[in-house]
Chain A
Amino acid sequence: MKQKRILNALTMVDEVFIEEAAPGTGTAAGLGRRVLAVVLAAVLALFLMGAGVATGIFGNSIQDWFDYYWNAITGQSMDKSQSAVIDNLSQEIGLSQTVGDITVTVDSATVGDDNFFLLLKVEGMRFSKRYGYTFGQNHMTVSPDPLEGGGGLGGYGLEYHGLDGDGAIVLMMDYEYAAMTGYVEDISPLEVTLELKDLFRDGSKRKLLAEGEWYFTFTLDRSDLPEPVRLPDSEVMGMELEQNTRVPLLLTDIELTNTGMRFCYDCQGGTLALSPDFFVVLKNGLKVECTGGTGTLLDGGPLLFCSYQWMFPVDLEDVAAIQIGSTQIPVP
């Protein structure tokens, strides 16, 4: 009786606490102990779900940030080819705006075919490692809008990643999309506007720290994006959602990029789905998980066009295979 009541009572505790305590959202201090072959799944949460991990180690640019995380996971420095890929995709922005005591800086960006990451910093107050921080509202627009006209699905998110060595808040913003027209190469500059409103201490005791609006406009250069690697149509195992049975799915138009992959498959009106376990397998055995993806029906037809992003940009020369569920697609 006692146990049943405890179970019932615990089940109903506040969702804020449940979310806060979710395994995998702790600090990353010990991750460096893990061996090279470890799957990076657990770190996915640290990467884009936010965790106070950057204290005292984090450098000054988005490249340093990727380098830091690579180090934390593998216990090794990122090799030169990998660093070169991230360098090539990254660009400095260096825009700051001060409102009251708080200075927000859009530091740098790493730009892929259909996604990008922004590194933001916030200074001007004494921040604590005990808490997370966020803005009350954030709004971003991009132009040309890849979803304009045809439609599709896209989104962006802002995540807290800890304090840097100077005590500044480090935030990462990511943007991704899948257009109903499929991927259409566009190397014109991407005009971005970013509005942030009111700085909060986050968590169960959320508190307004500073009122204000910070507004930025800047341009991302897309003129030098590497060519994707095209892979042959491949069959992987998927799931028939109504009968809950495993079925083969044919992926077509597969393109692998430094930051992710895209492909199409016939989802049979949404009754078929792929395994959520997506990895890029490097030649050294390391598996890099995707951070998520977006899918939309291609021109309203039966084909679902999907775009998935890796947690790190990867050197395509180092990629051995793509793994979806238990199926590996070799990369020549």
Chain B
Amino acid sequence: MEDSKIVALYWERAETAIGETAKKYGSYCRTVAWNILYSHEDSEECVNDTYLSAWHSMPPQRPERLRAYLGRITRNLALDRYKFNRTEKRGGGRILLALEELEECVPSGDPERITEDLVLTEALNRFLADLPQEARKIFLQRYWYLCSVREIADDLHISESKVKMTLLRSRNQLRALLEKEGIGI
């Protein structure tokens, strides 16, 4: 079913909206949650909470990109749950590893001069827009979807070394951009 039709079901308060969402995006949401939580039970609860959140947020929201909209809800819920669990087993280590990689490329800032998250997001959007499509996908699969290097290589059918190299270049570009714009954290 087309996304616009699914969104319309939410607006009509038709319960089938949840079933249709699950059919079309259940696997996607589970992947997003699994990459953060590494627990089937927690992931499944997260996905169900995503449907509930979608139900409560539409209306008033009318997302143009339903997949990304749901993915963002799932990711936030999963990260909240991850923080709650705060376990280092399995998925916990994976998140920290990805974030530590990314942290290296962000210049240190004056603790007194805390940059607004919005400014950093805008810079990230400009940075992503200028990246070649493949590099952008690799970057976001690693740092948004928190996929492993191996999973990215498999998904995009490229070698792991190419993924690592592309990530290194992208991080360097991001660091240069943030330094140039004087954005520190």
Binding site for B on A (CB under 8 A): 1-3, 5-24, 26-30, 41, 44, 130-131, 153, 155-157, 176, 203-205, 239, 241, 244, 267, 269-271, 273-274, 276-278, 290, 292-296, 304
A6 near B5 (CB under 8 angstroms)? no
B120 near A21 (CB under 8 angstroms)? no
In the complex, how many residue pairs between chain A and chain B have their CB atoms under 8 Å apart? 169
Contacts A29-B157, A130-B133, A155-B2: A22 and B20 contacting too (C-beta < 8 A)? no
Asked if B37 CB lies within 8 Å of chain A CBs, one says: no
Interface residues in B13-34 by Cβ distance below 8 A to A read 14-16, 18-20, 22-24, 26-28, 31
> Which B residues touch A276, using CB under 8 A?
19, 22-23, 26-27
- Kindly report which residue of chain A lies nearest to residue B17, judged by CB atoms: A270
> Which A residues touch B15, using CB under 8 A?
241, 267, 269-271
Contacts A22-B145, A276-B27, A294-B1: A30 and B99 contacting too (C-beta < 8 A)? no
> Which B residues touch A44, using CB under 8 A?
27
Contacts A2-B103, A29-B157, A241-B18: A13 and B136 contacting too (C-beta < 8 A)? no
B5 near A153 (CB under 8 angstroms)? yes
Residue pairs across A and B with Cβ atoms less than 8 A apart, 13 shown, are A1-B185, A8-B120, A9-B124, A15-B65, A17-B128, A18-B144, A20-B133, A24-B28, A27-B157, A153-B16, A204-B129, A267-B15, A271-B15
Which residue in B45, B76, B99 is a CB contact (below 8 Å) of A6?
B99
Q: How far in angstroms is the closest Cβ of chain B from A80? A: 30
Q: How far is the CA of A229 from the CA of B13 in the complex (A)?
A: 34
- Kindly report which residue of chain B lies nearest to residue A29, judged by CB atoms: B157
Which residue in B2, B72, B117, B137 is a CB contact (below 8 Å) of A21?
B137
B75 near A11 (CB under 8 angstroms)? yes
Which range holds the interface residue count of chain B?
A: 35 or more
- Kindly report which residue of chain B lies nearest to residue A6, judged by CB atoms: B102
- Kindly report which residue of chain A lies nearest to residue B142, judged by CB atoms: A21
Q: How far is the CA of A277 from the CA of B2 in the complex (A)?
A: 19
Contacts A5-B185, A6-B99, A292-B23: A23 and B16 contacting too (C-beta < 8 A)? no
Asked if B79 CB lies within 8 Å of chain A CBs, one says: yes
Contacts A2-B185, A17-B140: A8 and B117 contacting too (C-beta < 8 A)? yes
Q: How far is the CA of A225 from the CA of B54 in the complex (A)?
A: 39
> Which B residues touch A290, using CB under 8 A?
23
A12 near B99 (CB under 8 angstroms)? no
B contact face: mostly helix, strand, loop, or mixed? helix
Which residue in B67, B79, B129, B139 is a CB contact (below 8 Å) of A19?
B67
Query: Contacts A11-B72, A15-B69, A273-B19 given; 8 further ones with Cβ under 8 A?
Result: A2-B106, A8-B117, A13-B121, A23-B141, A24-B28, A26-B156, A29-B157, A277-B26
Interface residues in B64-102 by Cβ distance below 8 A to A read 64-65, 67-69, 71-72, 75-76, 79, 96, 99-100, 102
> Which B residues touch A16, using CB under 8 A?
65, 68
What 1/0 mask marks residues of chain B from 174 to 185 whose CB sits below 8 Å from any chain A CB?
000000000001
Q: How far in angstroms is the closest Cβ of chain A from B146? A: 10
B71 near A18 (CB under 8 angstroms)? yes
B143 near A292 (CB under 8 angstroms)? no
The 4 closest A-B pairs by CB, nearest first: A270-B15, A15-B68, A21-B140, A30-B157
A21 near B136 (CB under 8 angstroms)? yes
Q: How far is the CA of A19 from the CA of B111 in the complex (A)?
A: 34
Which residue in B27, B141, B155 is a CB contact (below 8 Å) of A41?
B27
Which residue of A24, A205, A241 has the most chain B CB atoms within 10 A of its CB atom?
Answer: A241
A6 near B16 (CB under 8 angstroms)? no
- Kindly report which residue of chain B lies nearest to residue A270, judged by CB atoms: B15
> Which B residues touch A20, using CB under 8 A?
133, 136-137, 140
A157 near B133 (CB under 8 angstroms)? no
B72 near A15 (CB under 8 angstroms)? yes
Asked if B172 CB lies within 8 Å of chain A CBs, one says: no
B124 near A10 (CB under 8 angstroms)? yes
> Which A residues touch B18, using CB under 8 A?
241, 270, 273
Q: How far in angstroms is the closest Cβ of chain A from B77? A: 11
A6 near B133 (CB under 8 angstroms)? no
- Kindly report which residue of chain B lies nearest to residue A273, judged by CB atoms: B19
A7 near B1 (CB under 8 angstroms)? no
